[in-house]
Every structure is written in structure tokens, then in C-alpha cells.
Amino acid sequence: MKTHYYLGWFNDFFPEKLGKVLREDIADRKSLTMISSNPLNDEADGATERSWLDQAGIMFDEYHLINYHVQKEDAQRLIQNASVIFLLGGDTLKQNKFLMEYELSDVIKKSEAVVMGASAGAINMSAKWVCSKNLGYNVEKSSVYDGIGLNDFSVLSHFDLENNIALVQDELSPLSEEMNIYASNKDCAVRVNGDKIDILGNVYLISHSKIQKLDEKL
């Protein structure tokens, strides 16, 4: 059974409840392979995301970062051999472009590793996502992008939902007719383990243009 974590952003560290489940899910700790969301910038090194895992007591024998300095074939091999694949937060569009250029989506989908994504990384793990000015992107025209498609739903992660519920509902309504959308703010997680979906924090489900807050269950 494959396990996927769609994370928001954590200003401090993982809540203990989340850390406990992660420690149980991540039994194999040979290698952590992180995928940059700003692959031209060497400073986007995943130090923050790695610190969350460190704080939770989850250490690995090897750590790898995939960006444009890594050859395409080497990047694919690192993913194939990873115990955990972590799509880093940052620039959703740049990460999406990088995933397509390096043909990483299918390799990630075939992997038996635990796959995690924070913010931009969580969005790119989903089947499709909406890119629009109202959702914080520097674009003129709204469009729908294909993500990796680890699960057949969409994700809006690390967005100020509480103050923008009506806007988010309106913006995501068309896509919500096609698939479920999980929308969350900071300090949140959606965990998928096989057919089971667990929720941590304030997560909303948008389906067929209706929005509802989900009960926490992790």
C-alpha cells in the first residue's frame, strides 16, 4: 500500500501526532531524495523541510537533492532508489516544469517509497491544480496544470483559506466538478494510505462546487 503526504507549511516543526505517524510509515530510512521547487537556485536546498524530519527523529543514511545540477538519468535513478521522496515547497510552476523536463512523474508514480510534498510540492503531487492570479500566481490568465497524479484529486496547499473561503470556492468550482479538491492552510496534512485518507489541521473538501470543513483524523 502506497503512502502519500500532502503537507501545508510548518512554521516550527511537525506536530507530535504527525511525527508519530511518519515514524511508523517511514520504516526504511536508507535515503531521502528531495526535489527542488527552484531548481536553478542552489540556496533552495530543502534545509527547512529536512529540519522538520530531523526534529521528528527521522534520519536517513543518505540525503540527495535533485535540481538542474543533477543529470536527468541520475535524477531518475535517485528517485528509483529512494526510501522517501520529498517534493519541496516554493515555486509551484518552476517545480512543475522541472518534473516534466526531467520526466520524473512516472518514475515517482512507480516508486514504492513514501512520497511527501510541502506547499508547492503537495500541489504538484496532485492530479491537476489551478494556477490563477487569485491564488497567488503571477499570471494573467487562469489555467489548469497536470500534476504527478499520485492520487485522483487536486490540492490547494498553504493558502490563507480562512480569509478567502468564497474566493477559493469560486476559483476552484469548475475543477471541483471534475474531481475532489483538498484545500488547506499552514500546519496541515492530508495522508493517503491505500484507499484511506487521514486529515490533520484545518482542511476543507471542495466537491461539485460545495465546500465543507473535514474532521481531523490522523
- Residue 61 confidence (pLDDT): 98
Q: Sort strands 189-193 and 181-184 into parallel, antiparallel or unpaired.
A: unpaired
Residue 34's CB is within 10 A of a number of other CB atoms, namely 25
- Residue 97 confidence (pLDDT): 98
Measured in whole angstroms, how far is the alpha carbon of residue 60 from the centre of its chain?
20
- The answer to whether 31 touches 111, Cβ cutoff 8 Å, is no
**Where exactly are the structural domains of the chain?**
3-213
Burial 74-110 (b: 16+ CB within 10 A, else e): ebbebbeebbbbbbbbbbbbbbbebbeebebbebbee
Cell of 96: 512543475
Topology adopted by domain 3-213: Rossmann fold (3.40.50)
Q: Model pTM?
A: 0.96
pLDDT classification of 44: cutoffs 50, 70, 90:
confident
Three-state DSSP state, 136? coil
- Residue 10 confidence (pLDDT): 94
- The answer to whether 70 touches 36, Cβ cutoff 8 Å, is no
Measured in whole angstroms, how far is the alpha carbon of residue 163 from the centre of its chain?
22
Distance from C-alpha of 148 to C-alpha of 4, rounded to nearest angstrom: 12
- The answer to whether 147 touches 115, Cβ cutoff 8 Å, is no
DSSP 157-180: -S---TT-HHHHHHHHHHHHTTS-
pLDDT classification of 59: cutoffs 50, 70, 90:
very high
Cell of 21: 505517524
pLDDT classification of 138: cutoffs 50, 70, 90:
very high
* pLDDT over 90, % of the chain: 88
